[in-house]
Amino acid sequence: MKSDPKEQKGWSQLWLKYDRKRDNGNGNYFERAAVQGFDCEDRVVRSALKELSHGVRGMLGRTVEIIALKEPDGFGKSGERVEPSASSDASLLIKKAEGTERGIRPEGYAIREEKGRLTLEAADEKGLLYAVFHLLRLIAMERGLAGTDILCCPDNPLRMYDHWDNMDGSIERGYSGRSFFFESDQVIVDERTRDYARLVSSVGINAVVINNVNVKQAATWLITDRYFEKAAQMAEIFADYGIRFFLSLNYAACMELGGLSSADPLDPEVIAWWQGKMKECFEKIPNLGGFLVKADSEGRPGPFTYGRTQADGANMLADAVRPYGGIIIWRCFVYNCTQDWRDRKTDRARAGYDNFIGMDGDYHENVILQIKNGPMDFQIREPVSPLLGGLSKTNQMLEVQIAQEYTGHQIDVCYLIPMFKEVLDFHTYCRPEADTVADVISGRVMGNQNAGIAAVCNTGNDENWTGSDLAAANLYGFGRLAFQTSLSAEEILEEWIPQQFSADREVIDTIKKILLTSRETYEKYTSPLGIGWMVTPHEHYGCSVDGYEYSRWGTYHRADHLGIGVDRSDQGTGYALQYHEPNASMYNSMETCPEELLLFFHHVPYNYILRTGKTLIQHIYDSHFEGVEEAEASAAAWDTLEGKVEEKTFRLVQERFQRQLYNAREWRDQVNSYFYRKSGIPDEKGRDIY
Ligand code: GCW
């Protein structure tokens, strides 16, 4: 295996390796490229053309000659006059689409091949950048370009990575080393910043939040002179790749920085302070898109302290950023985290809806509510949050997590795209048609661009960026899915594997199988049928069935000697009724509730017969034995790739599989033993339970 040419940098280029590929006649298109309608000196166009040359040189061994047609002022790069006719002998024509020609919408593009000539047409500069990356992807996949006919426009206006990086260099829920944005309370801007921007823009990401939503200490000062210069430098690099720069805000900054005695959003002094602060921020940081805010959540300050609503807080900040075209992304992760476990009435799952639904329609136009995919917290299986599509007059954005906090810490393999697809495809019944989560977050329901999808990111300064090389599938996949929701989880892997590993069919099929089964495998050996948690408290890796059972966090499974599960029906907490019909009725009844969510919605006796004909307890035993067997099969499948993927990657992933197997066996034996001891019902198959 050839090693990554960029390894000397100290970090991998992941799917932008650009190592030599089979030509398949593709080289011929890159004799001569002509650019029409775009300003070759534009920063994003420059990035796109540079990437094109770089990729084509690496993968096809060709040097592309690029000429500007009538751009910027009728002269080519070297100053000579270039006639439009020069376009006719170019083998690659790059041009700006006029109007919405051929259905090319903003940030969209078309790639066509006809009679030996490739035409790349884009709506705007970002569209061109995405088109180039698409073209390079096809080359990396060793697809012959002849006959290509592609039209691609992004499905979601905002496609965002949220980093939970702290300024001391640590990362909250980070499993890939330390931050490459911050260290020792300093902002880092270096070559890796640019490689990061290249990587995420190559999959269509157009917005990034660089700091943790828990904004404390030095991070509160990111909106001051102490950090403006560095923040601006980073924002400029992002701008080269069409990425808007965002920061997380401390809602109480007006007190901590401004010395005010209150953060009451209706207080004129508070309002004036934020207006001045936002003016300063947008003047000092070019390319600033706005702010992400976690307020009144897990100890963070917010408007509730002053008897004000979430809308009061969000609107006050939104008004302050509006003059600069800024937006406020306001998180809905607001719940009581000091609950009494004895209290069966209070239900954390209800909290998001209960806290936000009453103000539907009260949010200003440049506020977006960011809603986690499930009502709890990124568990391996949760229902879709009823706020998504529950709100009908408010801009909404979906938040998912590719940092594998509850899904194996990037030690255990867990390809999350299948889960995200389930969420996007979910019918909310918010209106007669076009009612899926995908419809809601695309902005089509509200009819504006303040919508989209964000993922809590899984990167760090590890050489391979994501801890495990296999976790890069989520980093790649999230961006691609956010851009093009219709892509299947499998199609995404068919693209990613040849770019990052090898176009060898056996490699593709083996890695694909490992990844496509990984979410279900993980689910089988961890918490059953949607109940969630059962993890080691705080750390969230490894099994502890009762770890959160008697805690303040509102995360209970309520197992006793007869059964397990939380009654969230109309007889219980009533959570099921937060959905539109027919979802409410479906979840409300044990008979119609989808079985994978049975224990989320109902307290179920161990001898309850599932649709498979098995009792609940037997299902718990069987699925836990199966989960471990499947993990073992995946580990063995990986072993067959020795010599077919880079040695370093092979060893690293192999070692992680060993840790996964240990973890899976612990989960299996602890969960099975726990329920055997509670229920006294033995395994029908007489396997080892302790
Ligand atoms: O439950 C939690 C995580 C926290 C995180 C929080 C959130 C950033 O365990 O680490 O804080 O979710 O989403 O705000």
Which among 279, 208, 280, 211 is positioned nearest to 240, based on CA atoms? Answer: 208
Atom 11 (ligand 1) nearest CA = 214
Which among 4, 1, 33, 32 is positioned nearest to 18, based on CA atoms? Answer: 4
- CATH number of the CATH domain containing 372: 3.20.20.80
Say whether both 476 and 556 belong to one domain. no
Is the pLDDT at 100 greater than 80? The verdict is: no
Q: What is the DSSP letter of 38?
A: S
- Tokens representing 57 are 């040189």
Q: Which residue shows structure tokens 């998504």?
A: 388
Q: What is the pLDDT of residue 511?
A: 98
The span from the CA of 207 to the CA of 159, in Å, is 6
The span from the CA of 52 to the CA of 361, in Å, is 45
The span from the CA of 49 to the CA of 106, in Å, is 19
Q: How many CA atoms lie within 13 A of 671 on its CB side?
A: 34
For the beta carbon of residue 306, count every other beta carbon within 10 angstroms: 16
Is the pLDDT at 72 greater than 50? The verdict is: no
Pair 432, 350: CB distance under 8 Å: no
**Total of domains in the chain:** 3
CB of residue 244 inside a 6 A radius of ligand 1: no
Distances (CA, A) of 446 to 227, 391, 429, 434: 36, 10, 15, 12
Q: What is the pLDDT of residue 82?
A: 52
Tens digit of each residue's pLDDT (9 = 90 or more) over 674-684: 999 999 999 99
Boundary residue ending a domain (98, 133, 152): 152
CB of residue 43 inside a 6 A radius of ligand 1: no
Compute, in angstroms, the gap from residue 40 CA to the centroid of ligand 1: 43
Residue 527 placed within a domain: yes
The span from the CA of 588 to the CA of 441, in Å, is 26
The span from the CA of 652 to the CA of 468, in Å, is 7
Averaged confidence pLDDT in the chain: 95
Say whether both 259 and 231 belong to one domain. yes
CA angle 398–578–434, rounded 5-degree value: 50
CB of residue 348 inside a 6 A radius of ligand 1: no
Q: What mean pLDDT is predicted for residues 214-229?
A: 98
Boundary residue ending a domain (152, 177, 202): 152
Say whether both 76 and 139 belong to one domain. yes
Say whether both 131 and 170 belong to one domain. no
Q: What mean pLDDT is predicted for residues 532-561?
A: 98
pLDDT category, 308, cuts 50, 70, 90? Answer: very high
Residue 592 placed within a domain: no
Q: What is the pTM of this model?
A: 0.96
Residue 641 placed within a domain: yes
Q: What is the DSSP letter of 157?
A: S
pLDDT category, 113, cuts 50, 70, 90? Answer: very high
Say whether both 492 and 613 belong to one domain. no
Q: Which domain holds residue 123?
A: 19-152
Q: What is the pLDDT of residue 89?
A: 76
Say whether both 386 and 411 belong to one domain. yes
For the beta carbon of residue 418, count every other beta carbon within 10 angstroms: 17
- CATH number of the CATH domain containing 41: 3.30.379.10
Say whether both 485 and 534 belong to one domain. no
CB of residue 426 inside a 6 A radius of ligand 1: no
Boundary residue ending a domain (152, 176, 211): 152
Say whether both 360 and 397 belong to one domain. yes
Of the candidates 405, 439, 567, 683, the residue annotated as catalytic is 405
Tens digit of each residue's pLDDT (9 = 90 or more) over 398-448: 999 999 999 999 999 999 999 999 999 999 999 999 999 999 999 988 888
Q: Which atom of ligand 1 is nearest to the CA of 401?
A: 13
- Tokens representing 323 are 């003059």
For the beta carbon of residue 315, count every other beta carbon within 10 angstroms: 23
Compute, in angstroms, the gap from residue 165 CA to the centroid of ligand 1: 12
Pair 668, 628: CB distance under 8 Å: yes
Catalytic site residue 646?
A: no
pLDDT category, 102, cuts 50, 70, 90? Answer: confident
pLDDT category, 70, cuts 50, 70, 90? Answer: low
| Beta bridge mates, 597 | none
Residue 571 placed within a domain: no
The span from the CA of 403 to the CA of 412, in Å, is 12
Say whether both 134 and 208 belong to one domain. no
CB of residue 337 inside a 6 A radius of ligand 1: no
Of the candidates 114, 298, 340, 688, the residue annotated as catalytic is 298
Say whether both 174 and 129 belong to one domain. no
The span from the CA of 271 to the CA of 277, in Å, is 10
Who contacts 390 (Cβ-Cβ below 8 Å, separation ≥6)? Answer: 353, 357, 360, 428, 430, 578, 579, 580
Tens digit of each residue's pLDDT (9 = 90 or more) over 604-645: 999 999 999 999 999 999 999 999 999 999 999 999 999 999
Q: Sign (positive/negative) of CA torsion 298, 304, 306, 309? A: positive
Catalytic site residue 298?
A: yes
Pair 477, 466: CB distance under 8 Å: no
Who contacts 272 (Cβ-Cβ below 8 Å, separation ≥6)? Answer: none
Q: What is the pLDDT of residue 684?
A: 98
Catalytic site residue 377?
A: yes
Q: What is the pLDDT of residue 75?
A: 44
Which among 621, 626, 613 is positioned nearest to 681, based on CA atoms? Answer: 621
Who contacts 598 (Cβ-Cβ below 8 Å, separation ≥6)? Answer: 529, 530, 565, 590, 604, 610, 616
Q: What is the pLDDT of residue 98?
A: 82
CB of residue 377 inside a 6 A radius of ligand 1: yes
Residue 2 placed within a domain: no
* From 76-90, 284-298, 482-496, the region with the lowest mean pLDDT: 76-90
CB of residue 309 inside a 6 A radius of ligand 1: no
- CATH number of the CATH domain containing 672: 3.90.1330.10
Which among 638, 472, 411 is positioned nearest to 12, based on CA atoms? Answer: 472
Which among 497, 507, 508, 503 is positioned nearest to 469, based on CA atoms? Answer: 497
* From 74-78, 127-131, 299-303, the region with the lowest mean pLDDT: 74-78
Which among 475, 454, 455 is positioned nearest to 410, based on CA atoms? Answer: 475
CB of residue 224 inside a 6 A radius of ligand 1: no
Q: H or E segment at 625? A: helix 616-639
Residue 580 placed within a domain: no
Q: What mean pLDDT is predicted for residues 272-276?
A: 98
Q: What is the pLDDT of residue 141?
A: 96
Tens digit of each residue's pLDDT (9 = 90 or more) over 565-604: 999 999 999 999 999 999 999 999 999 999 999 999 999 9
Q: What mean pLDDT is predicted for residues 320-324?
A: 98
- 677, exposed or middle or buried, with CB in 10 Å at 0-12, 13-18, 19+? exposed
Q: What is the pLDDT of residue 7?
A: 52
For the beta carbon of residue 501, count every other beta carbon within 10 angstroms: 23
Tens digit of each residue's pLDDT (9 = 90 or more) over 449-500: 999 999 999 999 999 999 999 999 999 999 999 999 999 999 999 999 999 9
Is the pLDDT at 159 greater than 50? The verdict is: yes
Residue 590 placed within a domain: no
Q: Which atom of ligand 1 is nearest to the CA of 164?
A: 8
Say whether both 554 and 612 belong to one domain. yes
pLDDT category, 666, cuts 50, 70, 90? Answer: very high
Is the pLDDT at 104 greater than 70? The verdict is: yes
Which among 129, 203, 195, 137 is positioned nearest to 455, based on CA atoms? Answer: 203
Q: Mutate which of 171, 292, 298 to test ligand 1's pocket (most atoms within 8 Å of Cβ)?
A: 298
Compute, in angstroms, the gap from residue 293 CA to the centroid of ligand 1: 13
Q: What is the pLDDT of residue 162?
A: 98
* Distance, CA of 236 to chain centre: 23
CB of residue 214 inside a 6 A radius of ligand 1: yes
- Tokens representing 594 are 């989808």
Distances (CA, A) of 391 to 335, 336, 395, 398, 454: 18, 21, 8, 13, 18
Say whether both 389 and 445 belong to one domain. yes
Q: DSSP of 67-115, one letter per residue?
A: EEES-SSSB-TTS-B--GGGGGG-SEEEEEPPTTGGG--TT-EEEEEET
Compute, in angstroms, the gap from residue 294 CA to the centroid of ligand 1: 10
The span from the CA of 392 to the CA of 362, in Å, is 11
Q: What is the pLDDT of residue 8?
A: 72
Is the pLDDT at 6 greater than 60? The verdict is: no
Pair 287, 245: CB distance under 8 Å: yes
Q: Which residue shows structure tokens 């709890």?
A: 376
The span from the CA of 173 to the CA of 659, in Å, is 19
Is the pLDDT at 168 greater than 70? The verdict is: yes
The span from the CA of 484 to the CA of 105, in Å, is 13
Q: What is the DSSP letter of 323?
A: G
